Amino acid sequence: MTNVLLVAGGVLLALVVSLAARRRRPDAPTQGGFQLPVQIDRSDFADVAKPWMVVVFTSATCDACADMLAKARVVESREVAVVDVEYTAARDLHSRYAIEAVPSIVVAGPDGTVRAGFLGPVKAQDLWAAVAECREPGSTPVHDRPLGAVEPDRGS
């Protein structure tokens, strides 16, 4: 009987110490979100002769990435290059631009300044509107408000 009481007391003591240690543990630090680059070196990518560049950072194992690349390919033209930067083929570029989540899309102008960007999947029309707005500010009805914002009802 004494052995049972000693074991029970030891277990109880271990539980008390464990609970006290958990309460003393500080909260986890605030985690930052993923970020897109604000500037790219256009010479890092193909098609540098075209004034506008849509860079799609992808991974071969990401289904959403393939969908986003297909949506981006629609805006490819004489003025707009669409570049797929797949992780296993271009780890150095994912590292250089600190891409930690895919799909990540940036729209860069002639000087390499990122004018628009998306983290994660996005609707095709939002991507296309962003590219159009970057190329010709004021060309889309959403140029003065965030993409996806709803136009206020002004009555009929």
Residue 100 inside a domain? The answer is: yes
pLDDT at 115: 94
Structural domain count of the chain:
1
Give the structural domain span for 124. 51-135
CB 72 within 8 A of CB 58: no
pTM: 0.70
CATH number at residue 64: 3.40.30.10
Residue 79 lies in a domain: yes
Does residue 151 belong to any structural domain of this protein? no
Residue 154 lies inside a defined structural domain of this protein: no
Locus of tokens 């993409």: 147
- pLDDT tens digit string along 31-90? 667 889 999 999 999 877 899 999 999 999 999 999 999 999 999 999 999 999 999 999
Calpha distance 128→47 (Å, rounded): 19
Q: Does position 142 have pLDDT exceeding 70, yes or no?
A: no
Residue 5 within a domain: no
